[in-house]
Structure 1
Protein backbone atom coordinates (compact mmCIF):
# COMPACT_ATOMS: atom_id res chain seq x y z
CA UNK A 1 0.00 0.00 0.00
CA UNK A 2 1.23 3.47 -0.88
CA UNK A 3 0.13 6.52 1.10
CA UNK A 4 1.06 10.18 0.88
CA UNK A 5 -0.44 13.41 2.18
CA UNK A 6 -0.18 17.13 1.57
CA UNK A 7 -1.77 20.35 2.85
CA UNK A 8 -3.44 22.57 0.24
CA UNK A 9 -4.47 26.14 1.00
CA UNK A 10 -8.02 25.73 -0.27
CA UNK A 11 -11.30 24.55 1.28
CA UNK A 12 -12.23 20.88 0.94
CA UNK A 13 -15.33 21.47 -1.16
CA UNK A 14 -13.33 23.41 -3.78
CA UNK A 15 -10.62 20.71 -3.86
CA UNK A 16 -13.23 17.99 -4.20
CA UNK A 17 -14.79 19.75 -7.22
CA UNK A 18 -11.36 20.27 -8.80
CA UNK A 19 -10.40 16.60 -8.34
CA UNK A 20 -13.73 15.54 -9.92
CA UNK A 21 -13.22 17.84 -12.93
CA UNK A 22 -12.60 15.54 -15.94
CA UNK A 23 -9.53 17.59 -16.97
CA UNK A 24 -7.74 17.22 -13.62
CA UNK A 25 -6.67 13.55 -13.42
CA UNK A 26 -4.98 13.49 -16.85
CA UNK A 27 -3.04 16.64 -15.85
CA UNK A 28 -1.85 15.57 -12.41
CA UNK A 29 -1.11 11.93 -13.31
CA UNK A 30 0.58 12.75 -16.62
CA UNK A 31 4.07 12.14 -15.22
CA UNK A 32 3.49 8.39 -14.74
CA UNK A 33 0.23 7.29 -16.41
CA UNK A 34 -2.11 8.15 -19.25
CA UNK A 35 -5.62 8.69 -17.91
CA UNK A 36 -8.72 9.06 -20.07
CA UNK A 37 -11.85 10.07 -18.20
CA UNK A 38 -14.84 8.20 -19.64
CA UNK A 39 -17.70 9.62 -17.55
CA UNK A 40 -18.48 10.87 -14.01
CA UNK A 41 -17.36 7.61 -12.41
CA UNK A 42 -15.08 5.73 -14.83
CA UNK A 43 -11.57 6.30 -16.19
CA UNK A 44 -9.20 4.30 -18.39
CA UNK A 45 -5.58 4.05 -17.18
CA UNK A 46 -2.40 3.03 -19.01
CA UNK A 47 0.79 2.72 -17.02
CA UNK A 48 3.96 2.20 -19.09
CA UNK A 49 6.08 -0.67 -17.87
CA UNK A 50 9.46 -2.15 -18.68
CA UNK A 51 10.35 -3.45 -22.17
CA UNK A 52 7.63 -1.38 -23.86
CA UNK A 53 4.95 -3.29 -21.95
CA UNK A 54 2.06 -1.31 -20.59
CA UNK A 55 -0.54 -2.15 -17.97
CA UNK A 56 -4.16 -1.12 -18.51
CA UNK A 57 -7.27 -0.95 -16.40
CA UNK A 58 -10.54 0.83 -15.93
CA UNK A 59 -11.39 2.33 -12.57
CA UNK A 60 -14.74 3.30 -11.12
CA UNK A 61 -15.58 5.65 -8.26
CA UNK A 62 -17.30 3.54 -5.62
CA UNK A 63 -17.70 6.08 -2.82
CA UNK A 64 -18.14 9.80 -3.12
CA UNK A 65 -18.80 12.17 -0.23
CA UNK A 66 -18.24 15.78 -1.32
CA UNK A 67 -15.44 17.42 0.62
CA UNK A 68 -14.78 14.22 2.61
CA UNK A 69 -13.69 11.27 0.44
CA UNK A 70 -13.45 9.87 -3.08
CA UNK A 71 -12.76 6.12 -3.36
CA UNK A 72 -12.28 4.06 -6.52
CA UNK A 73 -11.37 0.56 -7.61
CA UNK A 74 -10.35 -1.14 -10.82
CA UNK A 75 -12.93 -3.08 -12.78
CA UNK A 76 -12.87 -6.75 -13.75
CA UNK A 77 -10.13 -7.58 -16.25
CA UNK A 78 -7.59 -5.05 -15.00
CA UNK A 79 -3.96 -5.91 -15.77
CA UNK A 80 -3.19 -4.60 -12.28
CA UNK A 81 -6.18 -4.76 -9.93
CA UNK A 82 -6.03 -1.77 -7.60
CA UNK A 83 -8.00 0.55 -5.38
CA UNK A 84 -7.48 4.03 -4.09
CA UNK A 85 -8.89 6.75 -1.89
CA UNK A 86 -8.47 10.48 -1.48
CA UNK A 87 -9.50 11.83 1.91
CA UNK A 88 -10.09 15.50 2.74
CA UNK A 89 -9.63 16.81 6.32
CA UNK A 90 -9.37 20.32 7.73
CA UNK A 91 -5.73 21.24 8.18
CA UNK A 92 -4.60 22.41 11.63
CA UNK A 93 -4.68 26.14 12.21
CA UNK A 94 -7.10 26.86 9.39
CA UNK A 95 -4.33 26.37 6.83
CA UNK A 96 -6.64 24.78 4.26
CA UNK A 97 -7.23 21.08 3.70
CA UNK A 98 -5.07 18.06 4.38
CA UNK A 99 -5.32 15.52 1.56
CA UNK A 100 -4.36 11.87 2.02
CA UNK A 101 -3.95 9.76 -1.13
CA UNK A 102 -3.83 5.99 -0.68
CA UNK A 103 -3.26 3.39 -3.43
CA UNK A 104 -3.21 -0.38 -3.15
CA UNK A 105 -2.16 -2.62 -6.02
CA UNK A 106 -3.23 -6.28 -6.08
CA UNK A 107 -1.19 -7.93 -8.85
CA UNK A 108 -2.46 -11.22 -10.30
CA UNK A 109 -0.74 -14.52 -9.49
CA UNK A 110 1.63 -16.57 -11.63
CA UNK A 111 4.46 -15.34 -13.80
CA UNK A 112 2.59 -12.19 -14.85
CA UNK A 113 1.92 -11.36 -11.20
CA UNK A 114 5.61 -11.74 -10.35
CA UNK A 115 6.58 -9.39 -13.19
CA UNK A 116 3.94 -6.85 -12.21
CA UNK A 117 4.97 -7.05 -8.54
CA UNK A 118 8.63 -6.48 -9.45
CA UNK A 119 7.62 -3.49 -11.57
CA UNK A 120 5.40 -2.02 -8.85
CA UNK A 121 8.14 -2.46 -6.26
CA UNK A 122 10.03 0.05 -8.41
CA UNK A 123 6.99 2.35 -8.40
CA UNK A 124 8.21 4.87 -5.86
CA UNK A 125 6.02 6.66 -3.39
CA UNK A 126 7.52 9.80 -4.90
CA UNK A 127 5.12 9.30 -7.83
CA UNK A 128 2.24 9.79 -5.39
CA UNK A 129 3.93 12.81 -3.84
CA UNK A 130 4.49 14.31 -7.26
CA UNK A 131 0.80 13.82 -8.16
CA UNK A 132 -0.25 15.55 -4.94
CA UNK A 133 2.21 18.43 -5.50
CA UNK A 134 0.90 18.85 -9.05
CA UNK A 135 -2.65 18.93 -7.68
CA UNK A 136 -1.64 21.48 -5.02
CA UNK A 137 -0.09 23.72 -7.70
CA UNK A 138 -3.20 23.45 -9.84
CA UNK A 139 -5.49 24.20 -6.88
CA UNK A 140 -3.48 27.13 -5.52
CA UNK A 141 -2.19 28.77 -8.71
CA UNK A 142 -4.41 27.44 -11.50
CA UNK A 143 -1.52 25.78 -13.32
CA UNK A 144 1.03 22.99 -13.04
CA UNK A 145 4.62 24.12 -13.61
CA UNK A 146 6.34 22.09 -16.32
CA UNK A 147 10.00 21.76 -17.23
CA UNK A 148 9.34 20.25 -20.68
CA UNK A 149 11.12 22.13 -23.41
CA UNK A 150 13.28 24.11 -21.00
CA UNK A 151 16.80 24.89 -22.17
CA UNK A 152 19.68 22.99 -20.63
CA UNK A 153 20.99 26.19 -19.07
CA UNK A 154 24.13 26.40 -21.13
CA UNK A 155 25.30 29.82 -22.18
CA UNK A 156 25.63 30.17 -25.97
CA UNK A 157 29.23 31.47 -25.78
CA UNK A 158 30.29 28.49 -23.66
CA UNK A 159 28.73 26.07 -26.12
CA UNK A 160 30.72 27.71 -28.90
CA UNK A 161 33.94 27.47 -26.82
CA UNK A 162 33.34 23.79 -26.02
CA UNK A 163 32.72 22.87 -29.67
Structure 2
Protein backbone atom coordinates (compact mmCIF):
# COMPACT_ATOMS: atom_id res chain seq x y z
CA UNK A 1 0.00 0.00 0.00
CA UNK A 2 1.42 3.39 -0.91
CA UNK A 3 1.73 6.22 1.58
CA UNK A 4 -1.06 8.10 -0.18
CA UNK A 5 -3.42 5.10 0.13
CA UNK A 6 -2.51 4.66 3.79
CA UNK A 7 -3.15 8.35 4.46
CA UNK A 8 -6.50 8.18 2.70
CA UNK A 9 -7.47 5.11 4.74
CA UNK A 10 -6.59 6.85 8.01
CA UNK A 11 -8.32 10.18 7.33
CA UNK A 12 -11.90 11.13 7.82
CA UNK A 13 -13.88 14.34 7.63
CA UNK A 14 -17.39 15.49 8.44
CA UNK A 15 -19.33 18.76 8.57
CA UNK A 16 -22.31 20.14 10.43
CA UNK A 17 -24.15 23.46 10.71
CA UNK A 18 -24.96 24.91 14.12
CA UNK A 19 -27.17 27.96 14.60
CA UNK A 20 -24.69 29.75 16.85
CA UNK A 21 -21.92 32.29 16.27
CA UNK A 22 -18.30 31.20 15.84
CA UNK A 23 -17.19 32.78 19.11
CA UNK A 24 -19.67 30.71 21.16
CA UNK A 25 -18.77 27.46 19.38
CA UNK A 26 -15.04 28.07 19.57
CA UNK A 27 -15.11 28.74 23.31
CA UNK A 28 -17.35 25.70 23.93
CA UNK A 29 -15.00 23.41 21.94
CA UNK A 30 -12.01 24.66 23.96
CA UNK A 31 -13.66 24.18 27.38
CA UNK A 32 -11.81 21.40 29.25
CA UNK A 33 -14.87 19.18 29.78
CA UNK A 34 -16.26 19.37 26.22
CA UNK A 35 -13.91 16.84 24.60
CA UNK A 36 -14.63 14.19 27.23
CA UNK A 37 -18.35 14.61 26.59
CA UNK A 38 -18.43 14.62 22.79
CA UNK A 39 -15.89 11.81 22.25
CA UNK A 40 -17.15 9.49 25.03
CA UNK A 41 -18.61 7.07 22.43
CA UNK A 42 -15.06 6.44 21.24
CA UNK A 43 -12.54 7.18 24.00
CA UNK A 44 -12.09 8.43 27.53
CA UNK A 45 -10.73 11.97 27.33
CA UNK A 46 -9.29 13.62 30.42
CA UNK A 47 -8.13 17.24 30.39
CA UNK A 48 -4.52 17.22 31.61
CA UNK A 49 -3.47 20.84 31.50
CA UNK A 50 -3.62 23.99 29.49
CA UNK A 51 -4.82 22.97 26.01
CA UNK A 52 -3.85 19.28 26.52
CA UNK A 53 -5.89 16.12 27.05
CA UNK A 54 -5.11 12.45 27.68
CA UNK A 55 -7.05 9.94 25.55
CA UNK A 56 -7.64 6.23 26.16
CA UNK A 57 -9.40 4.18 23.49
CA UNK A 58 -10.32 0.54 24.00
CA UNK A 59 -9.82 -1.65 20.98
CA UNK A 60 -10.09 -5.23 19.80
CA UNK A 61 -9.16 -8.07 22.19
CA UNK A 62 -9.10 -5.73 25.19
CA UNK A 63 -6.36 -3.53 23.77
CA UNK A 64 -5.90 -0.09 25.27
CA UNK A 65 -4.39 2.75 23.27
CA UNK A 66 -3.21 5.99 24.85
CA UNK A 67 -2.14 9.38 23.57
CA UNK A 68 -2.01 13.01 24.61
CA UNK A 69 -3.22 15.81 22.36
CA UNK A 70 -2.24 19.45 22.48
CA UNK A 71 -4.00 22.34 20.78
CA UNK A 72 -1.22 23.54 18.51
CA UNK A 73 -3.03 26.40 16.84
CA UNK A 74 -6.21 28.24 17.67
CA UNK A 75 -7.63 31.29 15.95
CA UNK A 76 -11.03 32.62 15.02
CA UNK A 77 -11.20 30.46 11.88
CA UNK A 78 -10.18 27.15 13.39
CA UNK A 79 -8.59 24.91 15.96
CA UNK A 80 -5.79 22.44 15.25
CA UNK A 81 -4.46 19.75 17.55
CA UNK A 82 -1.76 17.12 17.35
CA UNK A 83 -0.58 14.26 19.49
CA UNK A 84 2.52 14.57 21.59
CA UNK A 85 5.58 12.32 21.24
CA UNK A 86 5.07 8.68 22.25
CA UNK A 87 1.40 8.40 21.28
CA UNK A 88 0.08 4.88 20.62
CA UNK A 89 -2.03 6.42 17.87
CA UNK A 90 -0.46 9.57 16.41
CA UNK A 91 -3.15 11.84 14.99
CA UNK A 92 -3.92 15.39 13.99
CA UNK A 93 -7.24 17.17 13.88
CA UNK A 94 -8.47 20.41 12.37
CA UNK A 95 -11.81 22.03 13.17
CA UNK A 96 -12.64 24.87 10.78
CA UNK A 97 -15.40 27.44 11.30
CA UNK A 98 -17.18 29.11 8.36
CA UNK A 99 -20.28 31.30 8.19
CA UNK A 100 -23.30 29.23 7.15
CA UNK A 101 -25.24 30.40 4.09
CA UNK A 102 -28.28 32.57 4.71
CA UNK A 103 -27.00 33.76 8.10
CA UNK A 104 -27.96 30.41 9.64
CA UNK A 105 -25.09 30.15 12.08
CA UNK A 106 -21.76 28.44 11.58
CA UNK A 107 -20.54 25.50 9.51
CA UNK A 108 -18.06 23.28 11.33
CA UNK A 109 -15.71 21.12 9.27
CA UNK A 110 -13.82 18.48 11.22
CA UNK A 111 -10.92 16.61 9.61
CA UNK A 112 -9.10 13.95 11.67
CA UNK A 113 -6.11 11.95 10.43
CA UNK A 114 -4.86 8.88 12.27
CA UNK A 115 -1.41 7.38 11.75
CA UNK A 116 -1.51 3.89 13.31
CA UNK A 117 1.90 2.32 14.07
CA UNK A 118 3.11 -0.77 12.22
CA UNK A 119 3.10 -4.43 13.24
CA UNK A 120 0.51 -6.22 15.35
CA UNK A 121 -0.31 -3.08 17.35
CA UNK A 122 -0.87 -1.19 14.10
CA UNK A 123 -3.25 -3.86 12.83
CA UNK A 124 -5.29 -3.77 16.06
CA UNK A 125 -5.39 0.03 16.02
CA UNK A 126 -6.40 -0.02 12.35
CA UNK A 127 -9.34 -2.26 13.28
CA UNK A 128 -10.29 0.12 16.06
CA UNK A 129 -10.30 3.16 13.77
CA UNK A 130 -11.60 1.51 10.62
CA UNK A 131 -14.75 0.15 12.21
CA UNK A 132 -16.41 3.34 11.04
CA UNK A 133 -14.00 6.28 11.28
CA UNK A 134 -16.39 8.67 9.59
CA UNK A 135 -19.12 7.68 12.05
CA UNK A 136 -16.78 8.36 14.98
CA UNK A 137 -16.19 11.91 13.72
CA UNK A 138 -19.82 12.50 12.68
CA UNK A 139 -21.09 11.33 16.05
CA UNK A 140 -18.70 13.70 17.83
CA UNK A 141 -20.03 16.60 15.74
CA UNK A 142 -23.68 15.64 16.36
CA UNK A 143 -22.96 15.41 20.08
CA UNK A 144 -21.23 18.80 19.96
CA UNK A 145 -24.21 20.35 18.17
CA UNK A 146 -26.59 18.99 20.81
CA UNK A 147 -24.36 20.35 23.57
CA UNK A 148 -24.11 23.76 21.87
CA UNK A 149 -27.86 24.08 21.27
CA UNK A 150 -29.31 22.49 24.42
CA UNK A 151 -26.50 22.32 26.98
CA UNK A 152 -26.68 18.53 27.11
CA UNK A 153 -26.07 15.43 25.01
CA UNK A 154 -29.10 13.15 24.60
CA UNK A 155 -28.66 9.51 25.49
CA UNK A 156 -30.72 6.35 25.53
CA UNK A 157 -28.87 4.88 28.50
CA UNK A 158 -30.11 4.13 31.03
CA UNK A 159 -33.70 3.75 29.94
CA UNK A 160 -36.06 2.69 32.74
CA UNK A 161 -38.07 0.47 30.38
CA UNK A 162 -34.88 -1.30 29.29
CA UNK A 163 -33.86 -2.48 32.76
CA UNK A 164 -33.27 -6.19 33.19
CA UNK A 165 -33.10 -6.78 29.47
CA UNK A 166 -36.28 -4.84 28.73
CA UNK A 167 -38.57 -6.71 31.12
CA UNK A 168 -40.81 -4.49 33.20
CA UNK A 169 -41.94 -5.76 36.57
Superposed pair shares fold, TM > 0.5? yes
Select between 56-65 and 117-126 the one with higher mean Cα deviation.
117-126
* Structure 2 runs not aligned, ≥5 long: 1-10
The alignment partner of 2:160 has SS state of coil
Q: Offset at 1:34?
A: 0.3
2:8 matched residue in structure 1:
none
1:15 aligns with 2:57: no
1:2 aligns with 2:41: no
Q: Offset at 1:142?
A: 1.3
Q: Offset at 1:93?
A: 0.4
- Give me the TM-score of the superposition, normalised by structure 1: 0.89
- Give me the TM-score of the superposition, normalised by structure 2: 0.86
What per-residue deviation string (whole Å, max 9, x for no partner) do you get for residues 77-126 of structure 1? 11111110111000000000000111100011223222222332214311
Map 1:31-42 onto structure 2 (within 5 A): 31-42=41-52
**What is the aligned-residue RMSD (CA, Å)?**
1.7
Moved segments of 4+, more than 2 Å? 151-154
1:86 matched residue in structure 2:
95
The alignment partner of 2:120 has SS state of helix
Specify the structure having the higher radius of gyration (Cα). 1
Once residues 38 and 4 of structure 1 are traced to their aligned partners in structure 2, the CA distance between those partners, rounded to angstroms, is 27
1:109 aligns with 2:118: yes
